[in-house]
Amino acid sequence: MNREDFPMLKEKYIYFNNAATSFKPIEVINEINDYYTKYNSNINRGIDSLSYYSTNKYEEVRNKVANFINANNNEIVFTRGTTDSINLLAYFLEDIINENDEIIISIIEHHSNFVPWQKLCKRKKAKLIVLDVEKNGTISPSLLKNNINTNTKIVALNHVSNTMGATNNIKELSNIIHKYNALFIVDGAQAISNIKIDVKDLEVDFYAFSGHKMYGPTGIGILYGKKQLLDNMEPISYGGEMIDSVSIDNTTYKDTPYKFEAGTMMISSVLGLGKAIDYINKIGIINMHNYVVNLRKYLIKQLQNIYNINIYNEQNEDSSIVLFNINNIHSHDIGSLLDKYNIIVRAGHHCCEPFMKYLKVDSTVRISLSFYNTKEEIDKLIEILMKAGDYINELF
């Protein structure tokens, strides 16, 4: 990896908020620029060569995504992001939920995988079951077994937690869920840039993730779904290019996945995502992961020298995330102090408020690493954190 590949790394910042969004390599930026300057055209419209070229480029990315997660290309739906994918599913699947049915989630889910199911249960008078988690933040298969039953229609869980960085055993959970003929939906937003994903091996029904967390553009997400399930779902958006035929009395739709992609899509972002996948494949996702794991070990060792620090997920060694607080200093104050020195972290409840209450804290500081971070950057972080107590005392 060459840090020169990332224009943002030439700026003055030390960036430790990669779980929120990642920097983009120059290949991604150039591809977006090329689209708007060399072959800007709408896709799936017209018979001209420009539109034909853009459409082919767009569909090539669908194939890249499918290969990246070991799916079929007709099982890949382009969306605006993980949040959009999960919200779409909550409406796509509304007809299978009846009064007194159950949907299972966990206390550690991101709001985007919590609120849509909470709202669906309210709409349909179904029951929302919220599982607690193990100390490391994982969902226990035995706890799932104790809570799932024949009334369970959907189980929606994260692959990797955006707070604790814990990785769930998705395949084991899937085996339990499918014994009850429930659907398994996985939020893969934090996993996609850290783990090699094989949706067939994991045996999930739906898998959602975002491009901007895997070195791609914002505004592009993926909803993977088993084709037979997507085929049986009704679209909820209607318009250009998802239509097969329209008459005064009736409308029919194109085949999956096109029936779910109404209107002009986020073409440039799709193309940028394709280049991000090329970049990950060039470096190797296993190489990226191993580098981050070793860097995190160094970070944990250095953080342990901070007086009064409370690290919540030290045990999750196979992770890119470190979650902590320093006693008697609010996380926002730590975030503001670091920002003063151009060090970017996340401070707050991380769109995971129920889990913060579970931890009995209002908020935490989160450091999330990427393969372009360095030990030298960590040393600078530690240098500033060592002064945190004195800095706060000066303020007050």
User: Which residue out of 351, 352, 381, 388 is catalytically annotated?
Assistant: 351
Tokens of 156: 């929606």
Please name the amino acid found at residue 362.
D
**Of 219, 214, 229, residue with least CA distance to 154:** 229
d(CA 151, CA 325): 40
Q: Give the DSSP H/E element, type plus range, for residue 152.
A: strand 152-158
Residue 394: CB partners within 8 Å, gap ≥ 6?
Answer: none
**Of 322, 260, 376, 347, residue with least CA distance to 14:** 376
CA 303 to chain centre: 26
Burial of 115 (0-12, 13-18, 19+ CB in 10 A): middle
Q: Is 121 considered catalytic here?
A: no
d(CA 230, CA 220): 19
Q: What angle do CA 214, 289, 379 make, to 5 degrees?
A: 95
d(CA 102, CA 285): 37
**Of 367, 346, 63, 80, residue with least CA distance to 217:** 80
Cα torsion 219, 225, 231, 237 to 10°: value is: -20
Q: Which residues are catalytic?
A: 351
